[in-house]
Structure 1
Amino acid sequence: MPRQLRAEQTRATIIAAAADLFDRCGYEATSLSDIVEHARVTKGALYFHFAAKEDLAHAIMELQSQASRRLTGEVDGRGYTSLEGLIRITFALTRLSVEGPVARAGLRLATGPMPVRAPLRHPFTEWLEIISHRLLGAVRESDLHPDTDVEAVAHSLVSFFVGTRVVGRSLEPVARLPRRTAEMWHMMIRGLVPVPRRPRYLTLASRLERELTATV
């Protein structure tokens, strides 16, 4: 195996092991020795790629940010309405959390004491912008009431999305996340979407939940 490819695989293995431990145990309770043991690599291999535990945390948050931007771009290229695009983005992010530890660890790091190093932006700031942009579009497309307070709704959506994951971390399995995302949208749709347009989006949220649940 070429040396560069082997190094990339080792780095990915270390990141996956660190993400799993950060997700399950928390950043502060996880040591570099724990990560070395979990990844089944040498300390030399870890230090070759990461000088400190903080560097590992930053790499995980960077991967989470890249995934959010990629998913947003993929949805934007499919011609959905602004509201449908937003609903699909949240379910896509939910899928990432269900399928692997990196997204879950990134969220746990974002809600903890870990500072976000420039040029990386805090994920909640990115999510607020993603959501606000699509909510404004949904108002223009008459999928939301014209007097919708976009800033307040965006903040509520991020808080709901993050809060269900923080609470659920110790109370229920990760496979429950699709249900929680659907519950969030059923409440939001009933409160924000004009009555004639509600069935379309309620049906969409339920369908996306079923599709995601069937894969976990």
Structure 2
Amino acid sequence: MTRKLRAEQTRATIVKAAAELFDKHGYESASLRDIVTHANVTKGAVYFHFATKEDLAHAVMDTQHNSFSRSMADIDRSGYSSLEILIRATFEMARQMGRCSIARASLRLAMSGISLNRPLHDAVGDWMKNVAGRLDDAMREADIDTEVEVEGAARALVYFLVGSRVAGSASRPAHEMGREVAEMWRFMIQALVPEVRRRRYLDLVAGLEQ
């Protein structure tokens, strides 16, 4: 194994350990000493990659952003309609939250309101813009009723996703999170989608829930 590969693996181990502690205890309660112990590395190894705990918070956020961006790129290349892309993306988000401490820690960091020298990436704001854009596209594709107020629908969808993660237990199995997303979409489809197109998307949600 090359020195570069070892360094990359060590860095990933440290980021994962930090995410697990941020997810379980919160950013402010997790010390660098705790992270060193949890990662089973030396203090020097941590400081080689990260000067401060704040740098680790940014690394957790960036890792999740890159992971979800890759998932979205795969979905985008599929040729699905805009609404189907959005539905699949929310199930993918639920899957990651159920299985990945980095995903959960990223959301907890985004919602924590902690004051850092360099503000954290506004993940929730980005989700809101992305969802609104997908709904706009879906309206042009006649999958969303033209009377729908897109910004309000985007807020409702994102607030549900964020709220269900914040209010619920991080240890819930992934299939339970998927069920909650399915329940949300059954309601949203009834409210947003013209009747003639609802069955297609209700069937999609039922399949993804499995």
TM-score tier, shorter chain, comes to over 0.9
Query: How far apart, in 1, do the equivalents of 2:44 and 2:7 lie?
Result: 12
Pairing 1:31-50 to 2, within 5 Å after superposition: 31-50=31-50
Give the deviation of 1:129 after TM superposition.
1.8
- The Cα of 1:115 is off from its aligned counterpart by 5.2
Identity of aligned residues (%): 51
Q: What's the C-alpha RMSD, in Å, of the aligned pairs? A: 1.6
- 1:80 maps to 2:85: no
Cα distance in 2 for residues equivalent to 1:48 and 1:21: 20
Instruction: Kindly report which structure 2 residues correspond to 1:5-154, keeping only aligned pairs within 5 A, or say none.
Output: 5-114=5-114, 117=118, 121-154=121-154
Q: Give, in whole Å, the separation in 2 of the partners of 1:160 and 1:98.
A: 16
TM-score, normalisation: structure 1: 0.91
C-alpha displacement at 1:61, in angstroms?
A: 0.6
Measured after TM superposition, the shift of residue 75 of structure 1 is: 1.3
Q: Over residues 130-188 of structure 1, what are the superposed CA-to-partner deviations in whole Å (9 max), with x where a residue is unaligned? A: 11111011111111111110111111111001000000036x61432111111111111
1:204 shift after superposition: 0.8
Partner of 1:177: 177
Task: Find runs of 4+ consecutive structure 1 residues off by over 6 angstroms.
Answer: none
Distance 1:114 1:70 in 2: 27
Tell me the distance in 1 between the aligned counterparts of 2:96 and 2:13. 18
Quote the offset at 1:64 in angstroms.
1.6
Partners of 1:174 and 1:109 in 2: how far apart? Answer: 21
Residue 188 (str. 1) matches residue 188 (str. 2):
yes
Task: Write the distance in 2 (CA, Å) between the matches of 1:67 and 1:129.
Answer: 19
Report the CA distance between 1:114 and its aligned residue. Answer: 3.3
Q: SS at 1:169's partner residue?
A: coil
Distance 1:68 1:51 in 2: 26
Give how far 1:93 is off: 1.5
Letter paired with 1:165: R
Deviations 1:88-131 (A, max 9, x none): 1111111211221111100000000235847x741112111211
Report the residue type matching 1:152 in the other structure. Answer: G
Partner Cα separation in structure 2 for residue 155 and residue 174 of structure 1? 26
Indicate how the Cα distance of structure 1 residues 169 and 115 shifts in structure 2: closer, same or farther if over 3 A, else same: farther
Q: Normalising by structure 2, what TM-score?
A: 0.93
Q: 1:174–1:31: structure 2 CA closer, same or farther, 3 Å change rule?
A: farther
Structure 1 unaligned regions, length at least 5 = 211-216
Aligned counterparts of 1:4 and 1:166: Cα–Cα separation in 2: 37
- Unmatched segments (≥5 aa) in structure 2: none
What is the CA–CA distance in structure 1 between the aligned matches of 2:56 and 2:131, rounded to whole Å?
28
Letter in 2 for 1:173: R
Change (3 A) 1:115 1:84: farther
SS at structure 2 position matched to 1:147 = coil
